Amino acid sequence: MTQRTKNQERIQRFVCPGCSLYCDDNQIVFSKNNEILETYGLCLKGYKKINEINSKNRIKNPLIRKNGVLKEVSLDEALNKVNEIINSSQKPLLYGFINTTCEAQINGIRLAKKINGFIESNASICHGQTYLNVIESGFNSTTLNECINKADVFIFWGSNAAESHPKFLTKTIFSRGKFRITGREIKTLILVDPRKTATYGVAGVRDLYIPLKPGKDLELIQFLKDMILKEKSEVPADGFVGVDKQDLNRLILNLKGSENGIILFGQGVINSNPNGNVIKALIELVDLINETSKRSRFSIIPMTGHNMNGFIQVSLSLLGKMGQIEFSDNQLIESNKDLISKIKDDEFDMSIIVASDPISNLPITLSSKLTRKPIIAIDCFITPTTKLADVILPVAISGIETDGLVYRMDNIPMNLQKIIDPPANLPSDEQILLKIIQKMEE
Ligand code: SF4
C-alpha cells in the first residue's frame, strides 16, 4: 500500500470480507487519488485479504487453453468458448461459491437451472452437514452480539478461532460487552481439541483444555449427557476417554453453571467424524442443558467459512433445499448425489468452478478426475485449479472491488461495500455469471 502523506483525503468504514465474521469495525484511509493509504482495525488475515488487490497472482485478462497452453483472449471470445463447452455438455457440474456474494450465488443457481446442471457450494464438504441436522431438529443458536455482550463460557470444539476467525476472541473473550463491568476475568475459555492450536495460546489459568483424541467426540458427549441427567453420578477416578477426572468435573461444572455458554464448533468436528453424528449430538447436548439446568443457558454456533451461510440461505429460499441440487428440463429434480459421488462416479462431463480451488482442496483421486473434463474457472487469482482450466474468466474481488450481500457465521446478513475499482474494469462474479447466461440466449 502507498505511504500515508498529507495527501490523505477521506476515511471510510468497511466490512472486511476476510472470513465469515465480516467485521464491520474497520476503517480505510484513502488518498485524494483514491489509493488506500492505511487501514485500521483489521487482523493480519483481513490485512492480507485487502492486500490481495496488489497480488502478483492476479488474473486480469480472460484466457483460453489453445494447443495445451493458456492464451489471453477477449472476453467475448472466452464467453463463446464457455458457450461451446456448455452446449456440448450433458452433465455440467457447478461448484464453489462461498468466497463470493449472495447475488453471484443466485446467478450460479440460475445458470445451473438453465444448463440442467448439478450445483453445490463448498458447504457440501464442510458445514453443509451441520445445516442438514439443523433443518431436521432446529438448534439453540445465538448472534455474535450476544456472544460479545452476554457470554461467559466459550467452548471451542474442534475449532481454532485464533486462526480461522482471528478477531472473534478479541471481540468476545477479551471484551467487556455492554452489560458488564468485568471482562476477561469472568470469561472462561474451554478448548476441546486433540491439538494445542493457536487458540490454546490465549488460554489463561481459569481456562480449560480437553485433549480429546480424534473420533472420541461422541463418547464424550454421551458421557456429558449422562452426567447432566444423573446429577449424582461421579466421574470415574481414572477419567474418561483419556481426559482426566478433574478436567471433566470442571467441564461439567461449566456446562451446568454458566450464565450464557456458547459451543463454537468447527472443521475439526466434521473432519474427525464425517457422518455428522457429532453435530447432532452437540445440538442435543445444548438442548439438554437448556431443558434441565435452572441456571445455565447454552447456544451453539457453527464456525463456518466465508459466505457458506449465504449459499445455504439462497438455495433454501430459492429452491427449498440446500444440497444435492440438480436440474433436468430446467426443473429441480430429486437427487441422491453429492459433489463427492458425482465426481467419483464420473457423473459430470465439465465443471464450472466459481471462487474456489478444488484441485488443491479435494483428495487427489477426485481432483484428478476433475482435470480430465473441461474446466471453466471464474476466479481473481492464479490457483492450481485455474492453471488446469480450459477457460479462465477473471473477476473483481468480492467485497473489495464489488458490493454484495453475505451472511455472517451467525446468519446475520451483512452488506459488503466496494472500496476500490477493479483492475481492467473486471466484472463481478455476479456479472460474469449473468454474461454467460446472456451469451447462451443470443
Ligand atoms: S476476523 Fe475475519 S472479518 Fe474480521 S478482520 Fe479478521 S479476517 Fe476480516
What distance in angstroms lies between residue 28's CA and the mean position of ligand 1's atoms? Answer: 14
Quote the domain boundaries for residue 36.
8-54
How much is the pTM? 0.93
Does the residue 15 lie in any domain? yes
**For residue 306, what pLDDT is reported?**
94
**For residue 184, what pLDDT is reported?**
83
Please indicate, yes or no, whether residues 160 and 253 belong to a single structural domain of this protein: yes
Does the residue 2 lie in any domain? no
Verify whether ligand 1 is closer than 6 Å to residue 416 (CB atom). no
Does the residue 364 lie in any domain? yes
Quick check: 39 and 25 in contact, CB under 8 A?
no
Please indicate, yes or no, whether residues 419 and 280 belong to a single structural domain of this protein: no
Please indicate, yes or no, whether residues 151 and 285 belong to a single structural domain of this protein: yes
Burial (CB count within 10 angstroms: exposed 0-12, middle 13-18, buried 19+), residue 65: middle
The residue to which cell 489509493 is assigned: 35
**For residue 234, what pLDDT is reported?**
86
Which CATH number goes with the domain that contains 223?
3.40.228.10
**For residue 72, what pLDDT is reported?**
97
Mark which of 302, 321, 344 sits at the end of a domain. Answer: 302
Which CATH number goes with the domain that contains 112?
3.40.50.740
**For residue 201, what pLDDT is reported?**
92
In what side-by-side order are the strands of the sheet with 26-31? 8-14, 26-31, 36-40
Verify whether ligand 1 is closer than 6 Å to residue 216 (CB atom). no
Is residue 232 very low, low, confident or very high in pLDDT (cuts 50, 70, 90)? low
- In eight-state DSSP terms, residue 421 is P
**For residue 205, what pLDDT is reported?**
87
| pLDDT greater than 60 at residue 3 | no
Return the higher-pLDDT residue of 131 and 329. 329
Please indicate, yes or no, whether residues 149 and 235 belong to a single structural domain of this protein: yes
Does the residue 284 lie in any domain? yes
Does the residue 1 lie in any domain? no
Return the higher-pLDDT residue of 330 and 10. 330
Q: What cell was used for 111?
A: 445458470
Does the residue 211 lie in any domain? yes
Does the residue 3 lie in any domain? no
Please indicate, yes or no, whether residues 285 and 161 belong to a single structural domain of this protein: yes
Burial (CB count within 10 angstroms: exposed 0-12, middle 13-18, buried 19+), residue 178: exposed
Q: What cell was used for 96?
A: 464453489
Number of domains making up the chain: 3
**For residue 309, what pLDDT is reported?**
95
Quick check: 414 and 24 in contact, CB under 8 A?
yes
Please indicate, yes or no, whether residues 253 and 351 belong to a single structural domain of this protein: no
What distance in angstroms lies between residue 46's CA and the mean position of ligand 1's atoms? Answer: 5
Does the residue 331 lie in any domain? yes
Verify whether ligand 1 is closer than 6 Å to residue 42 (CB atom). yes
Please indicate, yes or no, whether residues 291 and 327 belong to a single structural domain of this protein: no
- Segment 149-183, tens digit of pLDDT: 999 999 999 999 999 999 999 999 998 888 877 78
Q: Which of 198-207, 291-300, 401-410 has the highest mean pLDDT?
A: 401-410
Mutate to test the pocket of ligand 1, among 14, 15, 16, 148 (most ligand atoms within 8 A of CB): 16
CA 93/CA 110 separation, integer angstroms:
13
**For residue 435, what pLDDT is reported?**
98
| pLDDT greater than 60 at residue 342 | yes
Q: What is the mean pLDDT of the chain?
A: 92
Please indicate, yes or no, whether residues 213 and 78 belong to a single structural domain of this protein: no
Please indicate, yes or no, whether residues 209 and 113 belong to a single structural domain of this protein: no
Please indicate, yes or no, whether residues 188 and 262 belong to a single structural domain of this protein: yes
| pLDDT greater than 60 at residue 323 | yes
- Segment 201-231, tens digit of pLDDT: 999 888 999 999 988 999 999 999 999 887 6
Mark which of 260, 281, 302 sits at the end of a domain. Answer: 302
What distance in angstroms lies between residue 25's CA and the mean position of ligand 1's atoms? Answer: 10
Which ligand 1 atom is the nearest neighbour of the CA of 43? 6
**For residue 4, what pLDDT is reported?**
53
Mark which of 239, 273, 302 sits at the end of a domain. Answer: 302
The mean-pLDDT minimum among 155-164, 230-239, 286-295, 361-370 falls in 230-239
| pLDDT greater than 90 at residue 125 | no
Please indicate, yes or no, whether residues 132 and 116 belong to a single structural domain of this protein: no
What distance in angstroms lies between residue 129's CA and the mean position of ligand 1's atoms? Answer: 24
Please indicate, yes or no, whether residues 248 and 391 belong to a single structural domain of this protein: no
- Segment 7-55, tens digit of pLDDT: 667 898 999 999 999 999 999 998 888 888 899 999 999 999 999 999 9
